[in-house]
Chain A
Amino acid sequence: EAQVTQNPRYLITVTGKKLTVTCSQNMNHEYMSWYRQDPGLGLRQIYYSMNVEVTDKGDVPEGYKVSRKEKRNFPLILESPSPNQTSLYFCASSPQSGLVTDTQYFGPGTRLTVL
């Protein structure tokens, strides 16, 4: 089944404790992206990757890191999480490099709480 998977789905952690949210897609997509969703603010892009080894900042990159060493994986790293990073996070992927196509597939989401 073609899909985007994220792990963990739910995470409660404490301020300053490094964490990684994994994202993997099995559709051989070039483009991958991370979003966070907050009430009243909608979906905001954190980072995106056009293809392997190419990543760039989105609208809200502060406090986050990413890496794209393999086409299928695009982990999101919070080196020192803070309470303002409590949010619902989505990973997404699209087929083509250089363009965001109409079919952007979203993962199931990761609900993160930072105490």
Chain B
Amino acid sequence: QKEVEQNSGPLSVPEGAIASLNCTYSDRGSQSFFWYRQYSGKSPELIMSIYSNGDKEDGRFTAQLNKASQYVSLLIRDSQPSDSATYLCAVLGFQKLVFGTGTRLLVSP
């Protein structure tokens, strides 16, 4: 079992819709969770971090964490074509971040 799992996609949504990205992790002791956005050929950039169960909102982005079920999700409201990218879920392990393989999001105009 992979430590951090994501559906590779692509996830296709129309402009203005809500995009929902999911991630599951295997280490029940994990405490810190992150979402990175990566445009093709570019470096990852942090968009959200979450540490407690529940929701955390930042602009159009909402991260959701459920430690009991070991999943973390990212909702993007009012999706824009500029949101088209690969979204990487990362979980803090011992002295390192463990990344999922990413979900590719395509937002069509």
A35 / chain B contacts, CB cutoff of 8 Å: 99
A43 touches B43 (CB 8 A): no
What are 29 pairs between A and B in contact, CB < 8 Å?
Answer: A33-B96, A35-B99, A40-B8, A40-B101, A42-B88, A42-B99, A42-B101, A42-B102, A43-B44, A43-B88, A43-B99, A44-B99, A48-B95, A48-B96, A50-B95, A90-B43, A90-B44, A100-B32, A100-B92, A100-B95, A100-B96, A102-B32, A102-B46, A102-B49, A103-B46, A104-B46, A106-B43, A107-B43, A108-B43
- Since A99-B95, A103-B46, A106-B43 are in contact, a sample of 4 more A-B pairs with Cβ atoms closer than 8 Å, ordered by chain A residue number, is A40-B8, A42-B99, A44-B99, A100-B96
Could you say which of B34, B92, B97, B101 contacts A41, with CB atoms under 8 Å apart? B101
- Residues of A in contact with B (beta carbons under 8 Å apart): 33, 35, 40-45, 48, 50, 56, 58, 90, 99-100, 102-104, 106-109
Give the residues in chain A near B95, CB-CB below 8 Å: 48, 50, 56, 99-100
Q: How far is the CB of A76 from chain B (nearest CB, A)?
A: 15
* Min CB gap A90→B, angstroms: 6
Contact B46 A45 (CB under 8 A): no
Residue of B nearest to A43 (CB): B99
- How many Å lie between the Cα of A8 and that of B50 in the bound state? 34
Q: Which of A40, A42, A100, A109 has the most C-beta atoms of chain B within 10 angstroms of its own C-beta?
A: A42
- Chain B residues close to A by CB (< 8 Å): 8, 32, 34, 41-46, 49, 88, 92, 95-97, 99-102
Residues of A within 8 A of B46 (CB): 102-104
Contacts of A48 in B (CB 8 A): 95-96
